[in-house]
Amino acid sequence: MTSTIGITNQKGGVAKSTNTINIAGALADKGYNVLAVDTDPQGYLTNKLGLENKYKADPPSLFDALKEPTEYQIADLVDNHPEFDVLSSNVDMFRIEQELIASGWRPRERLQMLFKTLEGYDYVLVDAPPSLGPINDNVLLACQNIIVPVEADETSILALEHLLNQIETLEKRYEVNISERAVVISNVNYPVDNEQSDMIAWFNDTFEGRCPVFEVRHRAAIKRSLGAGGSIFGENAEDNDMVDVYNQIASELEVTADGR
């Protein structure tokens, strides 16, 4: 049984990719077989993990697989990273939304179709793009479990409302249930000001009884491990106090894995 989780928020810079890499790292560190999928045309995750060649490579890539999902197998598109497997993004992904809409044929269910070929993974974490368009819809429908990274910033409330509305629309239209598995208040830089501290309280109140809310602080060690091409669970990463937080997030996914 594979758990599939989308890391989604249409805002850019809220640590989607950073959380994807570190949650994948935490789960891999616990001994699970993990695949990280980069659906962002900008390919930050792909490039950070040292797969810039894949990002610029000639077809076939994720782009082709989303165009013709029945023609491709996940296993043929995946690369090995020292911590977990990676399905890279590609510069062609900048064209996928146009292609999906122009084709008109189940444009939001392509990743779901491709995921039918998933084999051997305990967890698949999908890094979503910074937009509420067809790519993100593909991520939501394919995963049906989401982790939402947010910033301790007032603009996050409106962004979150838009995301939750979009989820409701998809749930009705496709008769699926998309579960929030965690909210991760990310890149929090202490000391926080009043607005940030109010926002942290707001997230905790709003999601109480719905899903856990975690807080990941701004850490140079996180930046440095990304610079070195991996998570804070990688072989040469420095010890730091966010290891505990990412382990808790990973444990939460373990606990609720059966609940799908």
Ligand X SMILES: Nc1ncnc2c1ncn2[C@@H]1O[C@H](COP(=O)(O)OP(=O)(O)O)[C@@H](O)[C@H]1O
Cβ nearer to ligand X, comparing 5 with 113: 5
Site for ligand X in 130-169 (CB under 6 A): 130
13 binds ligand X (CB under 6 A): yes
129 binds ligand X (CB under 6 A): no
Q: Which partner in Mg ion, ligand X, none is near 47 (CB below 5 to 8 A by kind)?
A: none
Residue 149: strand, helix, or coil: strand
CB of 18 to ligand X, least distance (A): 3
Q: Which of 62, 111, 141, 222 binds ligand X (CB under 6 A)?
A: 222
Instruction: Please name the residues in contact with 139: beta carbons below 8 A apart, sequence gap of 6 or more.
Output: 6, 8, 39, 111, 126, 128
Angle at 24 between CA 20 and CA 28, to 5 degrees: 175
Q: Which of 3, 8, 10, 17 binds Mg ion (CB under 5 A)?
A: 17
B/e letters for 149-163, b = 16+ CB within 10 Å, e = fewer, are bbbbeeebeebbeeb
CA 168 vs CA 37, 46, 172, 203: distances in Å: 24, 30, 6, 19
String of contacts with Mg ion for each residue 24-63, x by CB under 5 A: --------------------x-------------------
Site for ligand X, rule CB under 6 A:
12-18, 44, 130, 186-187, 216, 218-219, 222-223, 226
